[in-house]
Amino acid sequence: MLVEERRSRILRIAEERGFVTLQSLVGELGASESTVRRDLEFLDASGQIQRTRGGASFIGDTQSDFDVRRGLASLEKQRIARRTAELISEGETVLLDGGTTTLEVARHLAGRSLQVLTNSLPIASLLMNRREIELIFIGGYVYPKTGVALGELSVTALQQIHASRLVMSTGGITSDGLFNSNQLLVETERQMIRAADRVTLVADSSKFGQRALSHLCALDVLDEIVTDDGISEEWVQRMEQSGIRMEVAGVERGSRRPSAALG
């Protein structure tokens, strides 16, 4: 079995089960323990799994999907995540929605003294061993591939909590509001919005002007949007006319033009 084929198979197994042991992988792959250890170390370093004692937890997407999605807007998402983390104060109670961009936000929150609530298994796996973070996981039906808990159980749990800020993602944003591709996700996110004092949307510029299957909410529920410097001036003005603060990663505060030194 080729190296890439073996690593892709490890990711598929980890994605299906959430957690895999080293010994079970050795048996299923027919590879040596040292070979599987090296594969796990490689996948851990690339951010797709997290090594644990005796095995690994899945925290990303499958290899092909992960590479495509990270490659499309990797730098933009990292900048968006960094700017979003700057908005969050020490000691804040933050509710994190699932998604590739919110996962990047979670990476930038490591080392901060915070209370984090999330329905995302990848985010929970990333932060579960951080002693400075008080982590609360919101359970429910776990949607395949994304590892996000959705549905009635999640909504009921969310009705019992309160957060100072929600950081959420979206499948698309237009003048009519936000859209996502899964109705269960939409219902869960609506309750997330109700549970938070402030709503921060993280969305790369490709999401503007796009619609998805289900309408999530109107624009007026948003307090701010953090996006990248690919956003057009027209969209910036349209959002600000709707009363939404725009934070553009890669643009100096107070300036409408991308700065020479991005970040």
CATH of the domain at 83: 3.40.50.10470
Indicate the SS3 state at residue 76. helix
The answer to whether residues 83 and 121 belong to one domain is yes
In a domain, 142, yes or no: yes
Tell me the mean pLDDT in the region 27-36: 90
> Residue 29 is part of a domain; what is its CATH number?
1.10.10.10
Judge whether 262 lies within some domain.
no
Whether pTM exceeds 0.95 = no
Task: Report whether 149 contacts 187 (CB < 8 A).
Answer: no
Residues 143 and 239 grouped into a single domain: yes
Whether residue 46 is found in the same domain as residue 159: no
Higher pLDDT, 87 or 71: 87
At 203-262, the pLDDT tens digits run 989 899 988 888 999 999 999 999 999 999 999 999 999 999 999 997 655 554 443 332
What are the DSSP calls for 116-155, one per residue? EEESBHHHHHHHTT-TTEEEEE--SEEETTTTEEESHHHH
86 shares its domain with 150: yes
pLDDT > 70 in the chain, percent? 87
Whether residue 10 is found in the same domain as residue 93: no
Cα 72 → chain centroid: 15
* Whether 14 and 105 share a structural domain: no
Range of the domain at 109: 73-249
